[in-house]
Amino acid sequence: MPTWDLLQLGLVVAVVVGLARPLGAYLDAVYSGRRTFLHRILGPAERWVYRFAGIDADSEMSWWSYTAALLTFSAIGVIVLFILLRLQGILPLNPEHVPGMSVGLAFNTAISFVTNTNWQAYAGETGASHLSQMAGLTWQNFISAACGIAVAVALVRALTRSECRGIGNFWVDLTRGCLYVLLPLAVLFAVVLASQGVVQTIEPAAHVTTLEGAGQVIARGPVASQEAIKILGTNGGGFFNANSAHPFENPTPLTNFLQVVAILAIPAGLTHLFGRWAGNGRQGWVLFSAMLLLFVLGLGLMYSAERAGNPNLTAAGADQEATTGSSGGNMEGKEVRFGIAGTTAFANATTAVSCGAVAGSQSSLTPLAGGVALMNIGLGEVVFGGVGSGLYGMLVFAILAVFIAGLMVGRTPEYLGKKVGPKEMKMAMLAVLALEAGILIIAGIGVIHEPALAARLNLGPHGLSEILYAASSAVGNNGSAFAGLNADTTYFNVVLGIGMLAGRFLFIVPVLAIAGSMSCKKVAPESQGTFPTDGVIFVGLLVGVILIVGALTFFPVYALGPVLEHLYMLAGTLF
């Protein structure tokens, strides 16, 4: 591995580790209702929101009320965004006269952004007006991310409380997440991005004359503001169709590095919040360590595969290897300014963290690297995962792990001193199965349904990977695309839209049910038979459970996709 690549990848990991504690401490203060340095500025706005909406900030909700508020709010968001996208052609702030989206595309896009998936079946710069980008998509980037954090906070609150008084107030958690976490971070990050060359304007596209004398249209718009929350909120929906591979979204190696770190920052910080609320920081570091171990494992595998490259395409690189001692690796589909290390760091982060942004072509990854991206999503949105969803997904697996540990030591399983009963296990398995079954059902229908097969660009195992990746990205609420698949069809707009809803809410509802059940359980004192959940052994058990569940579920189909394509590649056959 070249030294510069090692420094890039190592620095990403080091910065994320360094940010976890201070950011987690700040999140603790915000969601505990304590004053922060921003309360003097934003406190009046928070109180105005409560007065305007008639919210009693001191009231607590049952898990039923919390869930109903979340589902109702999300449903309204889908309806409003759908109408905006349909009518954007006749609304203001549309300098390029972008027409309204079709019914199917508006349905898919509205669900996509409300569920924090941000799957884009449309071309960003030509498919959405400035108004839709700002008032519709960017707004949902904030709201959907804040909803994810709210669910995670509600579950942590339920697990760590010793008294029975609800799981919090959804409207308060939502408001605080937007005002004190996402908004200030996004403003700061947008300024940094703009300073590096990311475009921020409401002017129409620029019409220029090239050096050859030809005319060219250069799309532009309010990019920096959308880019900042797209990354921080692990949303992924880009202003441009090329997403973060576009120089107006991600112009320099520095912005690429900052975006990778920003994708990981809030999910990492939430693990520290968990440790603080549990009264034992080691509990938070256990979850963080499990996430980091899986992330580094995926990063290493992806980078190794890309550095090795495709033997069928490296004849020209043989001379370079002979003279320099190193292969150029696989640069197909990558931005030269980022190289293999920068692109694989982004690809691993965006699939591990369910962000959906891309800084290169996922379809151009070598088969094994593409398989790592698929597995990152298929593991259940827990390798740091989306903002909030990563933590509550990891806690679901932690409950499964303590159940297994309880069987090993012959005791009723406990987590943070609270007994895990049949109801919690049923809800945990329902959440996991809803995600995995959704992916396999949609992919299974896709490989036998003619309209889905006709949308492929490639045949063979790579074509299977295209369909499987689309299903995984939708149900896993990731949003990144394998490319090559024509997703703007009636079939994919409808089926993937339904998959996004299922992946988001059929996971969230069982999570909140677990929160409601655990919130009123008494904390039992530790004994010699208690399985410790704050040490290295539990990290290994937790990672093992995640990998075993993922492997048992998806390895057969991965063997027919990325693994088979890799074997074909070694045999000289390409797709």
Q: What residue ranges do the domains of the chain occupy?
A: 3-570
Place of tokens 């569940």: 549
For residues 308 and 328, give the distance between their C-alpha atoms in angstroms, rounded to a whole number.
8
| Amino acid letter for position 319 | D
DSSP 3-state of 419: strand
Q: Is the pLDDT of residue 460 over 80?
A: yes
Q: With a threshold of 0.75, does the pTM exceed it?
A: yes
Q: Structure tokens of 227? A: 């880019």
Give Cβ neighbours of residue 190 (< 8 Å, ≥ 6 apart): 198, 200, 224, 225, 227, 228
Q: Is the pLDDT of residue 72 over 50?
A: yes
CA distances from 503 to 376, 404, 437, 554 (A): 15, 25, 10, 16
Q: What is the pLDDT of residues 222-254, one digit of tens each?
A: 999 999 999 999 998 889 989 999 999 999 999
Name the residue among 221, 94, 68, 78 with its Cα closest to residue 140. Answer: 78
Tell me, what's the pLDDT at 575? 78
For residues 128 and 357, give the distance between their C-alpha atoms in angstroms, rounded to a whole number.
17
CA distances from 347 to 153, 362, 474 (A): 28, 7, 17
Q: Is the pLDDT of residue 324 over 70?
A: no
Q: What is the pLDDT of residues 328-340, one digit of tens each?
A: 689 988 988 899 9
Q: 269 with 24: CB under 8 angstroms? A: yes
Q: Is the pLDDT of residue 367 over 50?
A: yes
Tell me, what's the pLDDT at 323? 37
| Amino acid letter for position 187 | V
Tell me, what's the pLDDT at 314? 63
| Amino acid letter for position 177 | G
Tell me, what's the pLDDT at 315? 54
C-alpha torsion sign, points 73, 75, 81, 84: negative
Mean pLDDT for 307-315 is: 80
Find the angle CA(328)-CA(332)-CA(333) to the nearest 5 degrees: 135
Q: Structure tokens of 291? A: 């996430």
C-alpha torsion sign, points 100, 101, 107, 113: negative
Tell me, what's the pLDDT at 190? 97
Q: What is the pLDDT of residues 523-543, one digit of tens each?
A: 887 777 778 899 999 999 999
Q: Residue 337: is it exposed, middle or buried by C-beta count within 10 angstroms (0-12/13-18/19+)?
A: middle
